[in-house]
Homo-oligomer: A and B are copies of this chain.
Protein backbone atom coordinates (compact mmCIF):
# COMPACT_ATOMS: atom_id res chain seq x y z
CA UNK A 1 0.00 0.00 0.00
CA UNK A 2 1.39 3.40 -0.95
CA UNK A 3 2.48 5.73 1.86
CA UNK A 4 -0.19 8.17 2.86
CA UNK A 5 0.61 11.20 4.97
CA UNK A 6 -3.03 11.87 5.87
CA UNK A 7 -3.61 8.38 7.25
CA UNK A 8 -0.55 8.58 9.39
CA UNK A 9 -1.74 11.87 10.82
CA UNK A 10 -5.22 10.37 11.23
CA UNK A 11 -4.51 7.40 13.46
CA UNK A 12 -0.81 7.25 14.20
CA UNK A 13 -0.29 10.80 15.43
CA UNK A 14 1.02 9.85 18.86
CA UNK A 15 3.42 7.24 17.49
CA UNK A 16 6.91 8.02 16.32
CA UNK A 17 6.76 7.81 12.51
CA UNK A 18 10.25 6.52 11.83
CA UNK A 19 10.79 4.96 8.39
CA UNK A 20 10.68 1.49 9.97
CA UNK A 21 7.46 2.27 11.81
CA UNK A 22 5.82 3.57 8.63
CA UNK A 23 7.02 0.57 6.60
CA UNK A 24 5.60 -1.83 9.20
CA UNK A 25 2.25 0.00 9.25
CA UNK A 26 1.99 -0.15 5.46
CA UNK A 27 2.93 -3.84 5.37
CA UNK A 28 0.26 -4.56 8.00
CA UNK A 29 -2.43 -2.63 6.11
CA UNK A 30 -1.50 -4.47 2.92
CA UNK A 31 -1.66 -7.83 4.71
CA UNK A 32 -5.00 -6.89 6.29
CA UNK A 33 -6.42 -5.94 2.87
CA UNK A 34 -5.22 -9.27 1.48
CA UNK A 35 -6.93 -11.24 4.30
CA UNK A 36 -10.16 -9.20 4.15
CA UNK A 37 -10.43 -9.63 0.37
CA UNK A 38 -9.89 -13.37 0.63
CA UNK A 39 -12.07 -14.08 3.64
CA UNK A 40 -14.22 -11.00 4.25
CA UNK A 41 -13.87 -8.58 7.14
CA UNK A 42 -16.17 -10.53 9.47
CA UNK A 43 -14.33 -13.84 9.01
CA UNK A 44 -10.75 -12.48 8.79
CA UNK A 45 -8.75 -12.41 12.04
CA UNK A 46 -5.75 -10.43 13.29
CA UNK A 47 -4.09 -13.84 13.76
CA UNK A 48 -4.32 -14.47 10.00
CA UNK A 49 -3.16 -10.95 9.29
CA UNK A 50 -0.18 -11.42 11.59
CA UNK A 51 0.68 -14.67 9.76
CA UNK A 52 0.29 -12.94 6.37
CA UNK A 53 2.71 -10.16 7.35
CA UNK A 54 5.09 -12.31 9.40
CA UNK A 55 4.57 -10.32 12.61
CA UNK A 56 3.00 -11.17 15.98
CA UNK A 57 -0.58 -10.27 16.88
CA UNK A 58 0.61 -7.79 19.55
CA UNK A 59 2.74 -6.12 16.85
CA UNK A 60 -0.40 -5.67 14.72
CA UNK A 61 -2.11 -3.98 17.67
CA UNK A 62 0.97 -1.89 18.41
CA UNK A 63 1.43 -0.57 14.88
CA UNK A 64 -2.19 -0.07 13.83
CA UNK A 65 -4.75 -1.40 16.34
CA UNK A 66 -7.78 -3.66 16.29
CA UNK A 67 -9.39 -5.28 13.26
CA UNK A 68 -11.82 -2.35 13.09
CA UNK A 69 -8.90 0.11 13.16
CA UNK A 70 -7.31 -1.80 10.27
CA UNK A 71 -10.48 -1.56 8.17
CA UNK A 72 -10.89 2.13 9.01
CA UNK A 73 -7.29 2.85 7.98
CA UNK A 74 -7.69 0.96 4.71
CA UNK A 75 -10.90 2.85 3.93
CA UNK A 76 -9.41 6.26 4.76
CA UNK A 77 -6.37 5.44 2.65
CA UNK A 78 -8.56 4.60 -0.36
CA UNK A 79 -10.72 7.67 0.21
CA UNK A 80 -7.58 9.81 0.15
CA UNK A 81 -6.27 8.06 -2.95
CA UNK A 82 -9.53 8.92 -4.73
CA UNK A 83 -9.45 12.54 -3.55
CA UNK A 84 -5.84 12.75 -4.70
CA UNK A 85 -6.65 11.27 -8.13
CA UNK A 86 -9.39 13.89 -8.63
CA UNK A 87 -7.19 16.78 -7.48
CA UNK A 88 -4.22 15.74 -9.63
CA UNK A 89 -6.43 15.11 -12.66
CA UNK A 90 -8.06 18.54 -12.38
CA UNK A 91 -4.65 20.18 -12.00
CA UNK A 92 -3.38 18.75 -15.31
CA UNK A 93 -4.95 21.49 -17.41
CA UNK A 94 -7.79 24.02 -17.66
CA UNK A 95 -9.09 22.15 -20.71
CA UNK A 96 -11.93 19.71 -19.83
CA UNK A 97 -10.80 16.90 -22.19
CA UNK A 98 -7.32 16.88 -20.69
CA UNK A 99 -8.74 17.07 -17.18
CA UNK A 100 -10.94 14.02 -17.77
CA UNK A 101 -8.03 12.15 -19.32
CA UNK A 102 -5.95 13.10 -16.27
CA UNK A 103 -8.60 11.87 -13.83
CA UNK A 104 -9.01 8.55 -15.70
CA UNK A 105 -5.23 8.02 -15.72
CA UNK A 106 -4.80 8.95 -12.03
CA UNK A 107 -7.77 6.89 -10.85
CA UNK A 108 -6.71 3.83 -12.87
CA UNK A 109 -3.18 4.09 -11.47
CA UNK A 110 -4.56 4.30 -7.92
CA UNK A 111 -6.74 1.18 -8.32
CA UNK A 112 -3.86 -0.78 -9.88
CA UNK A 113 -1.49 0.34 -7.09
CA UNK A 114 -3.86 -0.65 -4.27
CA UNK A 115 -6.18 -3.19 -5.84
CA UNK A 116 -6.82 -5.12 -2.64
CA UNK A 117 -7.45 -2.01 -0.57
CA UNK A 118 -9.99 -0.81 -3.17
CA UNK A 119 -11.69 -4.24 -3.15
CA UNK A 120 -11.99 -4.18 0.65
CA UNK A 121 -13.20 -0.58 0.49
CA UNK A 122 -16.11 -1.44 -1.81
CA UNK A 123 -16.90 -4.85 -0.38
CA UNK A 124 -16.93 -3.77 3.25
CA UNK A 125 -18.52 -0.31 3.20
CA UNK A 126 -21.28 -1.58 5.50
CA UNK A 127 -18.73 -2.71 8.10
CA UNK A 128 -17.37 0.84 8.54
CA UNK A 129 -18.46 3.17 11.34
CA UNK A 130 -21.04 5.81 10.36
CA UNK A 131 -18.63 8.76 10.47
CA UNK A 132 -16.20 7.13 8.02
CA UNK A 133 -19.05 6.02 5.80
CA UNK A 134 -20.56 9.52 5.58
CA UNK A 135 -17.17 11.04 4.85
CA UNK A 136 -16.60 8.53 2.03
CA UNK A 137 -20.10 9.08 0.62
CA UNK A 138 -19.55 12.85 0.63
CA UNK A 139 -16.15 12.54 -1.08
CA UNK A 140 -17.67 10.23 -3.66
CA UNK A 141 -20.43 12.74 -4.42
CA UNK A 142 -17.78 15.46 -4.81
CA UNK A 143 -15.85 13.23 -7.22
CA UNK A 144 -18.86 12.36 -9.40
CA UNK A 145 -20.13 15.97 -9.39
CA UNK A 146 -16.72 17.27 -10.51
CA UNK A 147 -16.56 14.73 -13.33
CA UNK A 148 -20.17 15.52 -14.33
CA UNK A 149 -19.19 19.22 -14.66
CA UNK A 150 -16.35 18.22 -17.01
CA UNK A 151 -18.74 16.00 -19.00
CA UNK A 152 -21.17 18.94 -19.32
CA UNK A 153 -18.32 21.16 -20.60
CA UNK A 154 -17.40 18.49 -23.17
CA UNK A 155 -21.06 18.13 -24.19
CA UNK A 156 -21.21 21.89 -24.84
CA UNK A 157 -18.37 21.34 -27.35
CA UNK A 158 -20.10 18.22 -28.80
CA UNK A 159 -17.25 16.01 -27.56
CA UNK A 160 -19.54 13.82 -25.42
CA UNK A 161 -22.99 12.48 -26.33
CA UNK A 162 -26.00 14.39 -24.96
CA UNK A 163 -27.76 13.09 -21.84
CA UNK A 164 -27.45 13.13 -18.04
CA UNK A 165 -23.90 14.31 -17.15
CA UNK A 166 -24.16 12.48 -13.81
CA UNK A 167 -24.95 9.13 -15.46
CA UNK A 168 -22.19 9.68 -18.04
CA UNK A 169 -19.77 10.57 -15.22
CA UNK A 170 -20.72 7.37 -13.36
CA UNK A 171 -20.25 5.44 -16.61
CA UNK A 172 -16.74 6.83 -17.16
CA UNK A 173 -15.74 6.25 -13.52
CA UNK A 174 -17.11 2.68 -13.69
CA UNK A 175 -14.16 1.66 -15.81
CA UNK A 176 -11.39 2.28 -13.24
CA UNK A 177 -13.71 1.42 -10.30
CA UNK A 178 -14.67 -2.00 -11.60
CA UNK A 179 -11.02 -2.97 -12.12
CA UNK A 180 -10.91 -3.98 -8.48
CA UNK A 181 -12.98 -6.95 -9.64
CA UNK A 182 -11.17 -8.10 -12.78
CA UNK A 183 -7.67 -6.61 -12.86
CA UNK A 184 -4.71 -8.90 -12.09
CA UNK A 185 -1.14 -7.58 -12.04
CA UNK A 186 0.08 -10.52 -14.17
CA UNK A 187 -1.64 -9.05 -17.26
CA UNK A 188 0.46 -7.60 -20.10
CA UNK A 189 -0.77 -3.95 -19.94
CA UNK A 190 0.42 -1.22 -17.58
CA UNK A 191 -2.04 0.98 -15.67
CA UNK A 192 -1.29 3.80 -18.08
CA UNK A 193 -1.94 1.64 -21.17
CA UNK A 194 -5.26 0.47 -19.71
CA UNK A 195 -6.26 4.06 -18.84
CA UNK A 196 -5.43 5.09 -22.41
CA UNK A 197 -7.83 2.42 -23.73
CA UNK A 198 -10.58 3.80 -21.46
CA UNK A 199 -9.94 7.32 -22.76
CA UNK A 200 -10.13 6.25 -26.40
CA UNK A 201 -13.22 4.13 -25.80
CA UNK A 202 -15.10 7.24 -24.63
CA UNK A 203 -13.70 9.37 -27.45
CA UNK A 204 -10.98 11.20 -25.50
CA UNK A 205 -8.09 10.94 -27.93
CA UNK A 206 -4.63 12.10 -26.84
CA UNK A 207 -4.11 15.84 -27.37
* Contact indicator per residue, chain A 22-60, by CB within 8 Å of chain B (1) or not (0): 000000000000000111111100000000000000000
- Give A42's nearest chain B residue, CB to CB: B42
Count how many chain A residues have C-beta atoms less than 8 Å from C-beta atoms of the other chain: 41
Residues of B within 8 A of A194 (CB): 167
Q: Does A186 contact B (CB under 8 A)?
A: no
Residues of B within 8 A of A197 (CB): 161, 163-164, 167-168, 171
* Contact indicator per residue, chain A 118-137, by CB within 8 Å of chain B (1) or not (0): 00001110110000000000
11 contacts between A and B (CB under 8 A): A39-B126, A161-B197, A163-B193, A163-B196, A163-B200, A167-B194, A167-B197, A170-B179, A171-B175, A174-B175, A177-B181
